[in-house]
């Protein structure tokens, strides 16, 4: 058994590490591509752009660690089953439980890492990310504005200009959109705009020189467009509230102890605020942290019974399992505002369902 365990440890660990590395690299590469685009068209310093990218790695690892171990298990045990190695072990009087013990140990260790990430690291990284976004807007609001492209980073507005010199924009077009629908309500053209940041009211103040406004009808009929205001100087205030979110109101930025303290406070001194979102988030993170173990419970017997040694087949099955699991989890999170449906319990459905199927499949595979 020592020889078998050493073989499994080596194969599973090496393959899991390789898959996690490849998946993480691919997902981070997508972020890097977006960062490079940002650097090309803004004044954002390289170190800030790189830091924004790396702050997303812990969240990426919470996805790639369970998927990486599951893919490794599907490949290794699928190959062992196809080569009749497991059948030979059974003929020697060795059951499946001792064989899969090393994988269970690895899954429990990785689940511990997942718990540490979702409970502490990821919330802190997301809080830091938001704080950096606030700092960028506060210290360098012009980094939001890129010449010769439509700027869509500010909700409710689209901005285009031909040239930027310091805080002055040339040949400016502003489009004002209706909240929630993105329907065009008016546009303003100006020869030049001077930008100022109003920190007290969290907005960009744009002084438009030689501005001309057009208002658009609700039905979108171009024949009904009529002139609005115009003048040598027009002032428009563009809200930046979305860049100044309050940290204490963001569940995603709270660690598990922070969430538990809020729940405890609500129970000891009720304030009328619903506790369901906090309970659901607490249960979701605990449930999510054991994803790696759940994937292994269903992955091992599935790999044994499919008896396929092709790597591509294992990857496809891994993708389907991961997709179904996270879709079910998303349903639970979506119901967190509906306390009557007990979303804090529904969030455990993927783990209960997958583990029940996994143990049943393992029971069948062990009896053959």
The Cα 231–Cα 140 span in angstroms is 29
With beta carbons less than 8 A apart as the criterion, state whether 296 and 107 touch.
Answer: yes
What was the pLDDT predicted at 82?
Answer: 77
Q: How far is CA 351 from the centre of its chain?
A: 20
Give per-residue pLDDT as tens, 119-169: 999 998 888 877 776 666 666 666 667 787 887 777 778 888 888 887 888
- Cα dihedral sign, 323-327-329-330: positive
The Cα 186–Cα 178 span in angstroms is 9
What was the pLDDT predicted at 249?
Answer: 52
What was the pLDDT predicted at 246?
Answer: 45
For the chain, residues with pLDDT lower than 70 are 1, 32, 34-46, 49, 133-144, 179-181, 199, 218-226, 228-229, 241-249, 271-272, 306-315, 318, 333, 336-341, 368
pTM of the predicted model over 0.75: no
What was the pLDDT predicted at 118?
Answer: 92
Strand partners, 164: 169
What was the pLDDT predicted at 120?
Answer: 92
What was the pLDDT predicted at 73?
Answer: 87
What was the pLDDT predicted at 247?
Answer: 39
Dihedral pair phi/psi, residue 29, rounded to 5°:
-65, -35
């Amino acid at each position: 058994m020592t020889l078998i365990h050493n073989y499994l440890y080596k194969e599973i660990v090496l393959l899991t590490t390789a898959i996690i590395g490849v998946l993480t690299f691919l997902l981070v590469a997508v972020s890097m591509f977006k960062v490079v685009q940002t650097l090309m068209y803004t004044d954002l310093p390289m170190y800030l752009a790189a830091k924004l990218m790396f702050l997303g790695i812990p969240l990426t690892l919470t996805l790639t660690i369970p998927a990486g171990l599951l893919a490794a298990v599907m490949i290794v045990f699928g190959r062992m089953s196809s080569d009749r190695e497991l059948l030979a072990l059974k003929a020697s009087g060795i059951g499946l439980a001792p064989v899969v013990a090393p994988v269970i140990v690895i899954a429990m260790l990785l689940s511990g890492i997942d718990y540490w990430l979702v409970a502490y690291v990821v919330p802190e990284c997301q809080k830091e990310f938001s704080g950096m976004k606030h700092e960028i807007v506060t210290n360098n609001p012009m980094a939001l504005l890129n010449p010769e492209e439509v700027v869509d980073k500010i909700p409710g507005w689209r901005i285009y200009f031909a040239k930027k010199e310091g805080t002055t924009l040339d040949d400016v077009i502003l489009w004002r959109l209706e909240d929630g629908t993105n329907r065009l309500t008016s546009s303003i053209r100006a020869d030049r705009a001077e930008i100022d940041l109003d920190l007290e009211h969290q907005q960009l103040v744009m002084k438009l020189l030689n501005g001309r406004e057009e208002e658009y009808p609700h039905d979108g009929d171009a024949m009904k467009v009529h002139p609005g205001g115009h003048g040598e100087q027009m002032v428009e205030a563009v809200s930046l509230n979305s860049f100044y979110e309050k940290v204490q109101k963001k569940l995603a930025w709270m660690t598990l102890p922070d969430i538990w303290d809020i729940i405890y406070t609500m129970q000891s001194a009720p304030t009328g605020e619903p506790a369901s979102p906090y309970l659901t988030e607490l249960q979701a993170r605990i449930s999510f942290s054991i994803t790696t173990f759940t994937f292994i419970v269903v992955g091992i017997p599935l790999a044994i019974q499919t008896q396929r040694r092709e790597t591509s087949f294992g990857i496809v099955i891994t993708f389907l399992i991961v997709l179904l699991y996270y879709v079910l989890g998303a349903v639970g999170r979506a119901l967190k505002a509906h306390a009557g449906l007990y979303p804090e319990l529904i969030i455990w459905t993927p783990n209960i369902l997958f583990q029940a199927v996994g143990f049943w499949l393992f029971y069948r595979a062990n009896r053959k």
